Structure 1
Amino acid sequence: MIYPLLWMLSSSLKDNTDIFINAHQLIPSKWNFDNYVTGFKGFAGISFAVFFKNSFIITILSVIGTVISSTMVAYGFARIRFKWAPFWFSCMMLTMMLPGEVLMIPQYIFFHKIGWINTFLPLIVPSFFGGAFFIFLIIQFLRGIPKELDESAHIDGCGKYRTFILIMIPLLVPPIITVSIFKFYWTWDDFFSPLLYLNSPKLATVSLAIKSFADPTMKTDWGAMFAMSILSLVPIFIIFFVFQKYIVEGISTTGLKG
Protein backbone atom coordinates (compact mmCIF):
# COMPACT_ATOMS: atom_id res chain seq x y z
CA MET A 1 0.00 0.00 0.00
CA ILE A 2 2.87 2.38 0.82
CA TYR A 3 5.06 1.34 -2.11
CA PRO A 4 3.37 3.61 -4.74
CA LEU A 5 3.96 6.62 -2.48
CA LEU A 6 7.59 5.63 -1.95
CA TRP A 7 8.01 5.12 -5.70
CA MET A 8 6.52 8.56 -6.43
CA LEU A 9 8.79 10.17 -3.81
CA SER A 10 11.78 8.41 -5.34
CA SER A 11 10.76 9.42 -8.88
CA SER A 12 10.44 13.05 -7.81
CA LEU A 13 14.18 12.98 -7.07
CA LYS A 14 15.26 11.36 -10.36
CA ASP A 15 15.97 12.63 -13.84
CA ASN A 16 13.26 11.99 -16.43
CA THR A 17 15.28 9.26 -18.13
CA ASP A 18 16.20 7.63 -14.83
CA ILE A 19 12.54 7.42 -13.77
CA PHE A 20 11.74 4.75 -16.37
CA ILE A 21 15.14 3.14 -16.91
CA ASN A 22 15.58 2.45 -13.19
CA ALA A 23 11.91 2.37 -12.25
CA HIS A 24 12.51 -0.64 -9.99
CA GLN A 25 15.03 1.23 -7.83
CA LEU A 26 13.67 3.33 -5.00
CA ILE A 27 17.03 4.95 -4.32
CA PRO A 28 17.91 7.36 -7.15
CA SER A 29 21.26 6.83 -8.83
CA LYS A 30 21.57 10.62 -9.00
CA TRP A 31 19.63 12.88 -6.64
CA ASN A 32 17.87 15.67 -8.51
CA PHE A 33 16.23 18.27 -6.25
CA ASP A 34 15.76 20.63 -9.18
CA ASN A 35 12.47 18.89 -9.94
CA TYR A 36 10.90 20.67 -6.97
CA VAL A 37 12.28 24.04 -8.08
CA THR A 38 11.15 23.51 -11.67
CA GLY A 39 7.75 22.18 -10.65
CA PHE A 40 7.06 25.01 -8.22
CA LYS A 41 7.63 27.54 -11.00
CA GLY A 42 4.43 26.19 -12.54
CA PHE A 43 3.50 27.01 -16.10
CA ALA A 44 2.20 29.94 -18.20
CA GLY A 45 4.01 32.30 -15.82
CA ILE A 46 1.90 31.10 -12.86
CA SER A 47 3.72 29.51 -9.92
CA PHE A 48 2.40 26.59 -7.94
CA ALA A 49 1.83 28.90 -4.98
CA VAL A 50 -1.18 30.30 -6.87
CA PHE A 51 -2.58 26.82 -7.42
CA PHE A 52 -2.13 25.92 -3.76
CA LYS A 53 -3.85 29.17 -2.78
CA ASN A 54 -6.81 28.39 -5.06
CA SER A 55 -7.14 24.87 -3.66
CA PHE A 56 -7.01 26.11 -0.08
CA ILE A 57 -9.65 28.80 -0.75
CA ILE A 58 -12.05 26.30 -2.33
CA THR A 59 -11.37 23.56 0.21
CA ILE A 60 -11.56 25.65 3.39
CA LEU A 61 -14.72 27.50 2.37
CA SER A 62 -16.34 24.21 1.29
CA VAL A 63 -15.48 22.65 4.64
CA ILE A 64 -16.94 25.61 6.53
CA GLY A 65 -20.13 25.55 4.46
CA THR A 66 -20.56 21.79 4.84
CA VAL A 67 -20.03 21.84 8.60
CA ILE A 68 -22.45 24.72 9.21
CA SER A 69 -25.25 23.49 6.95
CA SER A 70 -24.98 19.77 7.72
CA THR A 71 -24.88 20.36 11.47
CA MET A 72 -27.96 22.60 11.42
CA VAL A 73 -29.97 20.24 9.21
CA ALA A 74 -28.95 17.22 11.30
CA TYR A 75 -30.04 18.97 14.49
CA GLY A 76 -33.40 19.79 12.92
CA PHE A 77 -34.03 16.19 11.90
CA ALA A 78 -32.80 14.69 15.17
CA ARG A 79 -34.25 17.09 17.73
CA ILE A 80 -37.09 19.17 16.24
CA ARG A 81 -40.53 17.80 15.44
CA PHE A 82 -42.03 19.25 12.29
CA LYS A 83 -44.59 18.25 9.70
CA TRP A 84 -43.61 15.55 7.21
CA ALA A 85 -40.19 15.08 8.83
CA PRO A 86 -39.91 11.39 7.77
CA PHE A 87 -40.78 12.34 4.19
CA TRP A 88 -38.12 15.05 3.97
CA PHE A 89 -35.59 12.78 5.65
CA SER A 90 -36.30 10.10 3.03
CA CYS A 91 -35.90 12.65 0.25
CA MET A 92 -32.56 13.68 1.68
CA MET A 93 -31.35 10.07 1.89
CA LEU A 94 -32.50 9.39 -1.67
CA THR A 95 -30.11 12.05 -2.93
CA MET A 96 -27.26 9.73 -1.92
CA MET A 97 -28.44 7.31 -4.62
CA LEU A 98 -28.23 9.86 -7.43
CA PRO A 99 -25.09 9.36 -9.54
CA GLY A 100 -23.04 12.47 -10.12
CA GLU A 101 -23.44 12.01 -13.87
CA VAL A 102 -27.18 12.64 -13.54
CA LEU A 103 -26.62 16.03 -11.91
CA MET A 104 -23.66 17.12 -14.01
CA ILE A 105 -25.44 18.61 -17.04
CA PRO A 106 -28.37 20.30 -15.20
CA GLN A 107 -25.96 21.86 -12.70
CA TYR A 108 -23.66 23.11 -15.43
CA ILE A 109 -26.56 24.66 -17.35
CA PHE A 110 -27.85 26.32 -14.17
CA PHE A 111 -24.46 27.74 -13.19
CA HIS A 112 -23.86 28.89 -16.76
CA LYS A 113 -27.16 30.80 -16.87
CA ILE A 114 -26.39 32.67 -13.66
CA GLY A 115 -22.85 33.47 -14.82
CA TRP A 116 -20.87 31.40 -12.35
CA ILE A 117 -18.70 29.51 -14.86
CA ASN A 118 -14.97 30.20 -14.49
CA THR A 119 -15.42 31.23 -10.87
CA PHE A 120 -15.02 29.40 -7.55
CA LEU A 121 -18.73 29.76 -6.76
CA PRO A 122 -19.95 26.43 -8.30
CA LEU A 123 -17.32 24.63 -6.23
CA ILE A 124 -18.09 26.40 -2.94
CA VAL A 125 -21.74 27.50 -2.74
CA PRO A 126 -23.33 23.99 -3.00
CA SER A 127 -21.45 23.04 0.17
CA PHE A 128 -23.57 25.56 2.11
CA PHE A 129 -26.65 23.43 1.41
CA GLY A 130 -25.46 20.35 3.27
CA GLY A 131 -24.52 16.86 2.21
CA ALA A 132 -26.72 13.81 2.80
CA PHE A 133 -23.85 11.59 3.98
CA PHE A 134 -22.59 14.16 6.48
CA ILE A 135 -26.09 15.00 7.72
CA PHE A 136 -26.82 11.32 8.32
CA LEU A 137 -23.49 10.90 10.15
CA ILE A 138 -24.26 13.76 12.54
CA ILE A 139 -27.86 12.61 13.04
CA GLN A 140 -26.65 9.22 14.19
CA PHE A 141 -24.33 10.90 16.67
CA LEU A 142 -27.12 13.17 17.94
CA ARG A 143 -29.36 10.18 18.57
CA GLY A 144 -26.80 8.96 21.08
CA ILE A 145 -27.05 12.18 23.11
CA PRO A 146 -29.74 12.03 25.84
CA LYS A 147 -32.72 14.27 25.17
CA GLU A 148 -32.74 15.20 28.85
CA LEU A 149 -30.04 17.73 28.00
CA ASP A 150 -32.48 19.54 25.71
CA GLU A 151 -35.15 19.47 28.39
CA SER A 152 -32.76 20.86 31.02
CA ALA A 153 -31.70 23.64 28.66
CA HIS A 154 -35.36 24.43 27.96
CA ILE A 155 -36.09 24.65 31.69
CA ASP A 156 -33.17 27.06 32.06
CA GLY A 157 -34.73 29.30 29.42
CA CYS A 158 -32.83 28.25 26.32
CA GLY A 159 -34.69 28.14 23.05
CA LYS A 160 -33.87 25.84 20.15
CA TYR A 161 -31.12 28.09 18.79
CA ARG A 162 -29.35 28.59 22.12
CA THR A 163 -29.65 24.89 22.88
CA PHE A 164 -28.09 24.09 19.53
CA ILE A 165 -25.23 26.58 19.91
CA LEU A 166 -24.48 26.27 23.64
CA ILE A 167 -25.31 22.61 24.31
CA MET A 168 -25.11 20.61 21.10
CA ILE A 169 -22.20 22.20 19.26
CA PRO A 170 -19.65 21.42 22.05
CA LEU A 171 -20.89 17.81 22.14
CA LEU A 172 -20.68 17.48 18.36
CA VAL A 173 -16.96 18.22 18.13
CA PRO A 174 -15.94 14.62 17.17
CA PRO A 175 -18.41 14.25 14.25
CA ILE A 176 -17.79 17.85 13.14
CA ILE A 177 -14.06 17.18 12.90
CA THR A 178 -14.77 13.90 11.10
CA VAL A 179 -16.97 15.70 8.59
CA SER A 180 -14.33 18.40 8.14
CA ILE A 181 -11.59 15.87 7.44
CA PHE A 182 -13.60 13.87 4.92
CA LYS A 183 -14.78 17.03 3.15
CA PHE A 184 -11.23 18.35 3.09
CA TYR A 185 -9.96 15.12 1.52
CA TRP A 186 -12.68 14.92 -1.11
CA THR A 187 -12.52 18.59 -2.11
CA TRP A 188 -8.74 18.79 -2.16
CA ASP A 189 -8.48 15.68 -4.37
CA ASP A 190 -11.37 16.65 -6.65
CA PHE A 191 -10.28 16.88 -10.28
CA PHE A 192 -13.42 16.71 -12.37
CA SER A 193 -15.39 19.60 -10.85
CA PRO A 194 -12.59 22.17 -11.26
CA LEU A 195 -11.99 20.82 -14.76
CA LEU A 196 -15.66 21.37 -15.57
CA TYR A 197 -16.10 24.87 -14.17
CA LEU A 198 -12.66 26.54 -14.25
CA ASN A 199 -11.26 27.67 -17.60
CA SER A 200 -8.62 30.21 -16.60
CA PRO A 201 -5.13 28.93 -15.64
CA LYS A 202 -5.02 31.52 -12.84
CA LEU A 203 -8.01 29.80 -11.19
CA ALA A 204 -6.68 26.24 -11.54
CA THR A 205 -6.43 24.01 -8.49
CA VAL A 206 -3.51 21.79 -7.59
CA SER A 207 -5.10 18.72 -9.20
CA LEU A 208 -5.61 20.57 -12.49
CA ALA A 209 -2.10 22.03 -12.41
CA ILE A 210 -0.49 18.63 -11.89
CA LYS A 211 -2.42 17.25 -14.85
CA SER A 212 -1.10 20.12 -16.97
CA PHE A 213 2.44 18.77 -16.60
CA ALA A 214 1.39 15.69 -18.63
CA ASP A 215 0.99 17.24 -22.07
CA PRO A 216 0.69 14.69 -24.90
CA THR A 217 1.73 17.30 -27.50
CA MET A 218 4.98 18.14 -25.71
CA LYS A 219 7.65 16.45 -23.63
CA THR A 220 6.24 15.66 -20.20
CA ASP A 221 8.37 16.73 -17.25
CA TRP A 222 7.71 13.65 -15.14
CA GLY A 223 10.13 14.60 -12.37
CA ALA A 224 8.46 17.98 -11.80
CA MET A 225 5.01 16.39 -11.95
CA PHE A 226 5.91 13.79 -9.31
CA ALA A 227 7.55 16.50 -7.17
CA MET A 228 4.37 18.59 -7.16
CA SER A 229 2.30 15.46 -6.52
CA ILE A 230 4.35 14.87 -3.38
CA LEU A 231 3.80 18.46 -2.24
CA SER A 232 0.06 18.13 -2.91
CA LEU A 233 -0.06 15.23 -0.43
CA VAL A 234 1.54 17.21 2.39
CA PRO A 235 -1.69 18.94 3.59
CA ILE A 236 -3.54 15.62 3.52
CA PHE A 237 -0.89 13.87 5.60
CA ILE A 238 -0.78 16.74 8.09
CA ILE A 239 -4.56 16.73 8.50
CA PHE A 240 -4.63 12.95 8.92
CA PHE A 241 -1.83 12.66 11.51
CA VAL A 242 -3.06 15.64 13.54
CA PHE A 243 -6.74 14.64 13.63
CA GLN A 244 -6.70 10.86 13.16
CA LYS A 245 -7.97 10.23 16.72
CA TYR A 246 -11.04 12.35 15.96
CA ILE A 247 -11.76 10.32 12.81
CA VAL A 248 -11.90 7.12 14.84
CA GLU A 249 -13.86 8.74 17.68
CA GLY A 250 -16.35 10.44 15.36
CA ILE A 251 -17.13 7.24 13.45
CA SER A 252 -16.94 4.70 16.28
CA THR A 253 -19.33 6.65 18.53
CA THR A 254 -21.85 7.25 15.77
CA GLY A 255 -25.08 5.45 16.52
CA LEU A 256 -24.25 4.54 20.12
CA LYS A 257 -26.96 5.21 22.65
CA GLY A 258 -26.03 7.35 25.64
Structure 2
Amino acid sequence: MVTFRTVDRPPVDARGGAAAKRFKRVLLHAGLVMLCVGMLYPLLWMARGSLVPEDQIFSSETFLPSELVFANYPDGWAANPPGFGRFLINSAVVSVGAVIGNLVACTMAAYSFARVEFPLKRLWFAVMLATVMIPVHATLVPQYTIFTAVGWVDTYLPLIVPKFLATDAFFIFLLVQFMRSIPRELDEAAEIDGCGHLQRFVRVLLPLMGPALATTAVFTFIWTYEDFMGPLIYLADVNQYTVPLGLRMFMNSMGESSYGELFAMTTLSLLPVFVIFMIFQRRLIEGIATTGLKG
Protein backbone atom coordinates (compact mmCIF):
# COMPACT_ATOMS: atom_id res chain seq x y z
CA MET A 1 0.00 0.00 0.00
CA VAL A 2 1.41 3.35 -1.00
CA THR A 3 1.02 6.23 1.42
CA PHE A 4 1.37 9.86 0.46
CA ARG A 5 2.77 12.41 2.87
CA THR A 6 1.32 15.86 2.72
CA VAL A 7 3.68 18.74 3.15
CA ASP A 8 2.35 21.89 4.71
CA ARG A 9 3.32 24.83 2.62
CA PRO A 10 2.76 28.45 3.55
CA PRO A 11 0.09 30.21 1.58
CA VAL A 12 1.16 32.05 -1.52
CA ASP A 13 0.25 35.39 0.08
CA ALA A 14 2.42 34.63 3.12
CA ARG A 15 5.40 33.72 0.96
CA GLY A 16 4.90 36.84 -1.10
CA GLY A 17 4.68 38.96 2.05
CA ALA A 18 7.93 37.50 3.44
CA ALA A 19 9.69 38.10 0.13
CA ALA A 20 8.43 41.68 0.11
CA LYS A 21 9.73 42.23 3.65
CA ARG A 22 13.15 40.84 2.70
CA PHE A 23 13.23 43.07 -0.36
CA LYS A 24 12.37 46.14 1.73
CA ARG A 25 15.06 45.18 4.24
CA VAL A 26 17.62 44.86 1.46
CA LEU A 27 16.62 48.25 0.07
CA LEU A 28 16.85 49.79 3.55
CA HIS A 29 20.35 48.43 4.16
CA ALA A 30 21.47 49.44 0.68
CA GLY A 31 20.21 52.96 1.30
CA LEU A 32 21.98 53.12 4.67
CA VAL A 33 25.23 51.93 3.09
CA MET A 34 24.97 54.56 0.36
CA LEU A 35 24.24 57.24 2.96
CA CYS A 36 27.22 56.11 5.04
CA VAL A 37 29.51 56.17 2.00
CA GLY A 38 28.25 59.64 1.10
CA MET A 39 28.99 60.91 4.60
CA LEU A 40 32.42 59.29 4.79
CA TYR A 41 33.51 60.18 1.27
CA PRO A 42 34.94 63.63 2.19
CA LEU A 43 37.03 62.03 4.95
CA LEU A 44 38.20 59.24 2.67
CA TRP A 45 39.05 61.75 -0.06
CA MET A 46 41.04 63.82 2.44
CA ALA A 47 42.92 60.74 3.66
CA ARG A 48 43.63 59.82 0.04
CA GLY A 49 44.91 63.34 -0.65
CA SER A 50 47.40 62.98 2.19
CA LEU A 51 48.95 59.92 0.52
CA VAL A 52 49.41 61.13 -3.07
CA PRO A 53 51.71 63.73 -4.67
CA GLU A 54 50.28 67.21 -4.44
CA ASP A 55 49.89 67.56 -8.21
CA GLN A 56 47.58 64.52 -8.21
CA ILE A 57 45.24 65.58 -5.42
CA PHE A 58 42.85 67.51 -7.65
CA SER A 59 43.84 66.26 -11.09
CA SER A 60 43.52 62.50 -10.63
CA GLU A 61 40.50 61.01 -12.39
CA THR A 62 40.29 57.91 -10.20
CA PHE A 63 39.78 57.70 -6.46
CA LEU A 64 42.43 55.03 -5.93
CA PRO A 65 45.93 56.59 -6.06
CA SER A 66 48.43 55.31 -8.56
CA GLU A 67 51.24 55.68 -6.01
CA LEU A 68 51.41 56.27 -2.28
CA VAL A 69 53.54 59.06 -0.84
CA PHE A 70 54.00 59.14 2.93
CA ALA A 71 56.33 62.14 2.94
CA ASN A 72 53.39 64.52 3.56
CA TYR A 73 53.16 63.33 7.17
CA PRO A 74 56.73 64.03 8.34
CA ASP A 75 56.84 67.20 6.23
CA GLY A 76 53.57 68.47 7.67
CA TRP A 77 54.59 67.50 11.21
CA ALA A 78 57.63 69.79 11.05
CA ALA A 79 56.35 72.38 8.56
CA ASN A 80 55.32 75.11 11.02
CA PRO A 81 57.48 75.73 14.10
CA PRO A 82 57.14 74.73 16.89
CA GLY A 83 55.80 71.61 15.16
CA PHE A 84 52.41 69.98 14.95
CA GLY A 85 53.11 67.86 18.03
CA ARG A 86 53.10 71.03 20.11
CA PHE A 87 49.69 71.98 18.73
CA LEU A 88 48.31 68.56 19.70
CA ILE A 89 49.66 68.94 23.24
CA ASN A 90 48.14 72.42 23.55
CA SER A 91 44.76 71.17 22.37
CA ALA A 92 44.94 68.29 24.83
CA VAL A 93 45.66 70.67 27.72
CA VAL A 94 42.78 72.97 26.85
CA SER A 95 40.34 70.13 26.13
CA VAL A 96 41.13 68.18 29.29
CA GLY A 97 40.86 71.34 31.38
CA ALA A 98 37.46 72.11 29.83
CA VAL A 99 36.27 68.54 30.45
CA ILE A 100 37.26 68.69 34.12
CA GLY A 101 35.61 72.08 34.51
CA ASN A 102 32.32 70.96 32.97
CA LEU A 103 32.21 67.71 34.92
CA VAL A 104 32.77 69.50 38.22
CA ALA A 105 30.69 72.64 37.74
CA CYS A 106 27.81 71.31 35.63
CA THR A 107 27.19 68.33 37.88
CA MET A 108 27.09 70.55 40.96
CA ALA A 109 24.74 73.01 39.27
CA ALA A 110 22.57 70.14 38.06
CA TYR A 111 22.38 68.70 41.59
CA SER A 112 21.18 72.07 42.87
CA PHE A 113 18.37 72.22 40.32
CA ALA A 114 17.41 68.56 40.64
CA ARG A 115 17.68 67.89 44.38
CA VAL A 116 17.92 71.16 46.33
CA GLU A 117 14.96 73.40 47.09
CA PHE A 118 15.63 77.14 47.06
CA PRO A 119 13.57 80.27 46.30
CA LEU A 120 12.65 80.91 42.64
CA LYS A 121 14.27 77.67 41.51
CA ARG A 122 11.98 77.32 38.49
CA LEU A 123 12.71 80.90 37.45
CA TRP A 124 16.47 80.45 37.68
CA PHE A 125 16.22 77.17 35.81
CA ALA A 126 14.32 78.92 33.01
CA VAL A 127 16.92 81.71 32.94
CA MET A 128 19.66 79.10 32.71
CA LEU A 129 17.93 77.43 29.76
CA ALA A 130 17.39 80.80 28.08
CA THR A 131 21.15 81.34 27.93
CA VAL A 132 21.32 78.55 25.34
CA MET A 133 19.61 80.88 22.87
CA ILE A 134 22.13 83.71 23.35
CA PRO A 135 24.57 83.77 20.40
CA VAL A 136 28.20 83.50 21.37
CA HIS A 137 28.94 86.64 19.35
CA ALA A 138 26.68 88.68 21.65
CA THR A 139 28.95 88.06 24.64
CA LEU A 140 32.24 88.02 22.79
CA VAL A 141 33.20 91.67 23.26
CA PRO A 142 32.23 91.90 26.97
CA GLN A 143 34.13 88.69 27.73
CA TYR A 144 37.19 89.86 25.86
CA THR A 145 37.09 93.18 27.76
CA ILE A 146 36.92 91.36 31.10
CA PHE A 147 39.71 88.94 30.26
CA THR A 148 41.88 91.81 29.02
CA ALA A 149 41.31 93.72 32.26
CA VAL A 150 42.41 90.76 34.39
CA GLY A 151 45.40 90.02 32.14
CA TRP A 152 44.25 86.63 30.88
CA VAL A 153 44.61 87.31 27.16
CA ASP A 154 47.30 85.19 25.46
CA THR A 155 46.81 82.44 28.04
CA TYR A 156 44.63 79.35 28.25
CA LEU A 157 42.62 80.75 31.18
CA PRO A 158 39.80 82.30 29.07
CA LEU A 159 39.31 78.91 27.41
CA ILE A 160 39.28 76.85 30.63
CA VAL A 161 38.19 78.94 33.62
CA PRO A 162 34.62 79.69 32.35
CA LYS A 163 33.98 75.94 32.27
CA PHE A 164 34.45 75.86 36.05
CA LEU A 165 31.62 78.42 36.34
CA ALA A 166 28.97 76.15 34.77
CA THR A 167 28.54 78.22 31.63
CA ASP A 168 27.33 75.33 29.41
CA ALA A 169 23.58 75.26 30.02
CA PHE A 170 23.09 72.34 27.65
CA PHE A 171 25.08 69.97 29.86
CA ILE A 172 23.39 71.26 33.01
CA PHE A 173 20.00 70.48 31.47
CA LEU A 174 21.22 67.04 30.38
CA LEU A 175 22.48 66.18 33.86
CA VAL A 176 19.37 67.57 35.55
CA GLN A 177 17.12 65.35 33.46
CA PHE A 178 19.29 62.34 34.24
CA MET A 179 19.26 63.07 37.98
CA ARG A 180 15.48 63.41 37.96
CA SER A 181 15.24 59.86 36.65
CA ILE A 182 17.04 58.55 39.75
CA PRO A 183 14.52 57.71 42.53
CA ARG A 184 14.52 60.12 45.44
CA GLU A 185 14.16 57.16 47.81
CA LEU A 186 17.92 56.68 47.49
CA ASP A 187 18.49 60.23 48.71
CA GLU A 188 16.06 59.75 51.57
CA ALA A 189 17.78 56.54 52.63
CA ALA A 190 21.14 58.28 52.58
CA GLU A 191 19.69 61.19 54.56
CA ILE A 192 18.42 58.78 57.22
CA ASP A 193 21.95 57.42 57.47
CA GLY A 194 23.17 60.93 58.21
CA CYS A 195 24.48 61.94 54.78
CA GLY A 196 24.40 65.61 53.86
CA HIS A 197 24.08 67.09 50.39
CA LEU A 198 27.74 66.59 49.56
CA GLN A 199 27.78 62.94 50.63
CA ARG A 200 24.52 62.20 48.80
CA PHE A 201 25.91 63.87 45.71
CA VAL A 202 29.23 62.02 45.79
CA ARG A 203 28.20 58.62 47.17
CA VAL A 204 24.69 58.15 45.79
CA LEU A 205 24.18 60.12 42.58
CA LEU A 206 27.61 60.24 40.95
CA PRO A 207 28.07 56.43 40.83
CA LEU A 208 24.75 56.17 38.95
CA MET A 209 25.52 58.96 36.49
CA GLY A 210 28.28 57.29 34.51
CA PRO A 211 26.53 57.46 31.10
CA ALA A 212 25.52 61.11 31.52
CA LEU A 213 29.00 62.08 32.72
CA ALA A 214 30.58 60.23 29.79
CA THR A 215 28.29 62.07 27.37
CA THR A 216 29.23 65.40 28.93
CA ALA A 217 32.94 64.59 28.84
CA VAL A 218 32.98 63.35 25.24
CA PHE A 219 31.04 66.25 23.76
CA THR A 220 32.97 68.81 25.81
CA PHE A 221 36.24 67.33 24.57
CA ILE A 222 35.13 67.28 20.93
CA TRP A 223 33.69 70.80 20.94
CA THR A 224 36.72 72.26 22.72
CA TYR A 225 39.19 70.33 20.58
CA GLU A 226 37.52 71.60 17.39
CA ASP A 227 37.01 75.18 18.60
CA PHE A 228 38.62 77.71 16.27
CA MET A 229 37.19 81.06 17.31
CA GLY A 230 38.15 80.95 21.00
CA PRO A 231 41.86 80.22 20.50
CA LEU A 232 41.96 82.63 17.55
CA ILE A 233 40.73 85.48 19.74
CA TYR A 234 42.65 84.87 22.94
CA LEU A 235 45.93 83.28 21.79
CA ALA A 236 48.65 85.29 20.07
CA ASP A 237 51.78 83.25 20.80
CA VAL A 238 52.38 80.56 18.18
CA ASN A 239 53.75 78.25 20.87
CA GLN A 240 50.29 78.23 22.46
CA TYR A 241 48.32 77.54 19.29
CA THR A 242 45.85 74.67 19.29
CA VAL A 243 45.24 72.23 16.43
CA PRO A 244 42.71 74.38 14.48
CA LEU A 245 45.11 77.34 14.51
CA GLY A 246 47.97 75.05 13.60
CA LEU A 247 46.06 73.80 10.56
CA ARG A 248 45.30 77.39 9.58
CA MET A 249 49.04 78.07 9.39
CA PHE A 250 49.27 75.83 6.32
CA MET A 251 47.41 78.53 4.34
CA ASN A 252 48.87 81.92 3.51
CA SER A 253 47.06 85.23 3.18
CA MET A 254 46.30 84.52 -0.49
CA GLY A 255 44.52 81.27 0.32
CA GLU A 256 47.31 79.13 -1.10
CA SER A 257 48.30 76.01 0.80
CA SER A 258 50.42 72.90 0.76
CA TYR A 259 47.39 70.68 0.47
CA GLY A 260 49.25 67.39 0.86
CA GLU A 261 50.72 68.42 4.21
CA LEU A 262 47.45 70.07 5.25
CA PHE A 263 45.42 66.94 4.51
CA ALA A 264 48.00 64.78 6.28
CA MET A 265 47.86 66.82 9.49
CA THR A 266 44.08 67.13 9.28
CA THR A 267 43.78 63.35 9.03
CA LEU A 268 46.16 62.98 11.96
CA SER A 269 44.23 65.51 14.05
CA LEU A 270 41.04 63.46 13.67
CA LEU A 271 42.56 60.42 15.36
CA PRO A 272 42.13 61.67 18.98
CA VAL A 273 38.46 62.41 18.37
CA PHE A 274 37.95 59.00 16.77
CA VAL A 275 39.73 57.21 19.62
CA ILE A 276 37.76 59.07 22.30
CA PHE A 277 34.48 58.28 20.57
CA MET A 278 35.31 54.59 20.18
CA ILE A 279 36.35 54.26 23.84
CA PHE A 280 33.19 55.87 25.20
CA GLN A 281 30.78 54.64 22.53
CA ARG A 282 29.06 52.18 24.85
CA ARG A 283 28.66 54.79 27.58
CA LEU A 284 27.15 57.22 25.09
CA ILE A 285 24.57 54.63 24.07
CA GLU A 286 23.80 53.92 27.72
CA GLY A 287 23.31 57.63 28.29
CA ILE A 288 20.49 57.55 25.76
CA ALA A 289 18.96 54.18 26.67
CA THR A 290 19.25 54.03 30.45
CA THR A 291 17.05 55.83 32.96
CA GLY A 292 19.67 56.10 35.70
CA LEU A 293 19.35 52.72 37.40
CA LYS A 294 20.64 49.32 36.39
CA GLY A 295 19.07 46.10 37.41
TM-score (norm 1): 0.95
Q: What is the match of residue 124 of structure 2?
A: 88
Tell me which of 272, 279, 288 is aligned to 1:235: 272
Query: What does 1:88-237 align with in structure 2 at a 5 Å threshold?
Result: 88-130=124-166, 131-217=168-254, 220-237=257-274
> Are the counterparts in 2 of residues 141 and 253 from structure 1 also a CA contact under 8 Å?
no
Unpaired segments ≥5 residues, structure 2: 1-38
CA distance in 1, matches of 2:269, 2:196: 44
- The CA deviation string for residues 72-111 of structure 1, in whole angstroms up to 9 with x for no partner, is 1101110011111112111111110101110111111111
Once the two structures are TM-superposed, the CA of residue 217 in structure 1 deviates from its matched residue by 4.2
The amino acid across from 1:166 in the alignment is: R
> Are the counterparts in 2 of residues 11 and 19 from structure 1 also a CA contact under 8 Å?
yes
Q: What is the match of residue 245 of structure 1?
A: 282
The amino acid across from 2:45 in the alignment is: W
Q: Secondary structure at the match of 1:21?
A: coil
User: Number of residue pairs matched?
Assistant: 255
CA distance in 1, matches of 2:51, 2:68: 5
> Are the counterparts in 1 of residues 209 and 292 from structure 2 also a CA contact under 8 Å?
no
> Are the counterparts in 2 of residues 140 and 255 from structure 1 also a CA contact under 8 Å?
no
Q: What is the match of residue 27 of structure 2?
A: none
Once the two structures are TM-superposed, the CA of residue 254 in structure 1 deviates from its matched residue by 5.8
Once the two structures are TM-superposed, the CA of residue 190 in structure 1 deviates from its matched residue by 0.6
Greater Cα radius of gyration, structure 1 or 2? 2
Once the two structures are TM-superposed, the CA of residue 150 in structure 1 deviates from its matched residue by 0.4
Q: What is the match of residue 13 of structure 1?
A: 51
CA distance in 1, matches of 2:260, 2:105: 41
CA distance in 2, matches of 1:58, 1:143: 31
Q: Secondary structure at the match of 1:174?
A: helix
> Are the counterparts in 2 of residues 92 and 132 from structure 1 also a CA contact under 8 Å?
yes
Q: Which moved more, 1:108-117 or 1:55-64?
A: 108-117
Q: What is the match of residue 113 of structure 2?
A: 77
The amino acid across from 1:77 in the alignment is: F
Unpaired segments ≥5 residues, structure 1: none
Percent of aligned pairs with the same amino acid: 44
